[in-house]
Amino acid sequence: MSNFRDPTMPLQFVYTNQDLVTDVCRISKNSPGMASPPAKFDTTIQAGWTHRMERGLFRYHLGDLQTRILPGSHSYVAQLNIQRGVERRKPQEILSIQQEFNAKQFNFNKINPEEIIFEMTKDTERGTALQYDGQVHQPCRMVVLVNVSPLEFGHCLFVPDPSRCLPQVLTRFAIQVGIESVLLSSDPGFRMGFNSLGAFASVNHLHLHGYYLDKELKIESMPAKPLVPERGFYRLLDFPAGFLFYTESAEVEKVSTAICEVTDFLVDGNIAHNLFLTRGCPPCDRTQSEKNLYWRKGVRIAVWPRLSCFGAKEESAFNVALCELAGHLPFKNKKDYDLTTEKDVIDIIQRYLLPDREFHRLEQQLTRHLMDL
């Protein structure tokens, strides 16, 4: 058989449940361990991303970013990325959380095809289709392309079948493949996330973000209170107020369904939201034990309902979107990067969160909703 591959056809990345990595451990000063060997998923993304950076397909060259940990209990990871603030494509005007897809605006069917690293499909026993609740759904591809305005190394966009022209509203497929992508990586620094419309999504065409951040975030081990634990649903017990799902490889389909029920509820209620997916500890309502603190066998999915933000309104220091809520702060100018304190960060983020009374009412509604289904 010939090894020739048509250069006009994207690389195909086919995976199975056997490719999901379960034995990831975060190495610390107190608990040195063997780093996991790079998974095929990581080497494919990183090589493809680096090759396209070298070829000049990005809006700017991204080198090592200046990084500092802000003093304080939250250990916020601040990074200086001036070029992203200057060079990135102007965000689309978003007027509604349920805004329809508009083919006349920029979308991922209009990109340079060379920006595509690969197309992901899952090979199951019944062929390349995903299953939800035991039912087999039609095959669907996830197109992985470079973000030409990267915020960190390996920053890609994960776009479910771009030709379907889906608006920026999460689907079970997008959530499941997002979780499985984190599990396909052997690097605890690989993160994924989602911004809804009204929560600083800049393009109304369904996509998730994926990137590498080689710093530990508090969200990986933050205490959480069980709400409907049999469905993987918890409430975060630290700032910023939000919800948490947790799954290991065996429960991905079940937890993906529950997450989608929550995000559908938020969309129906016109509540903007951000999600952040990362390797993390199993949820616990107190500080993690030394034994569990560094294990990263599963994925934590944080869901933050928040106040909607429409139009071109921007913070001078940083926008409050998926990575900022998780504790990763890309700054757009040197002064803010140098001078911003933990208290400043909390004050900015607080302005975008739901009022306490509204959040607790939503918590009760979502708990009942998940228990009834």
Positions marked catalytic: 207
How far apart CA 155 and CA 53 sit, in angstroms, is: 11
User: Closest by alpha carbon to 196, among 171, 216, 215?
Assistant: 171
Q: Is 209 helix (H, G, I), strand (E, B) or coil?
A: strand
Strands annotated E in the chain = 11-15, 66-69, 77-80, 116-122, 131-132, 135-136, 142-146, 156-160, 190-195, 208-212, 224-228, 233-236, 243-247, 272-280, 298-306, 328-331
Identity (one letter) of the amino acid at 27? I
- Contacts of residue 254, Cβ cutoff 8 Å, sequence gap at least 6: 231, 232, 247
Q: Take residue 180 and report the two structure tokens written for it.
A: 């499985």
How many whole angstroms separate alpha carbon 152 and alpha carbon 213? Answer: 7
Rounded CA-CA distance 199/307 in Å is: 8
The one-letter code for the residue type at 6 is D
Closest CA to 257 of 280, 230, 279: 230
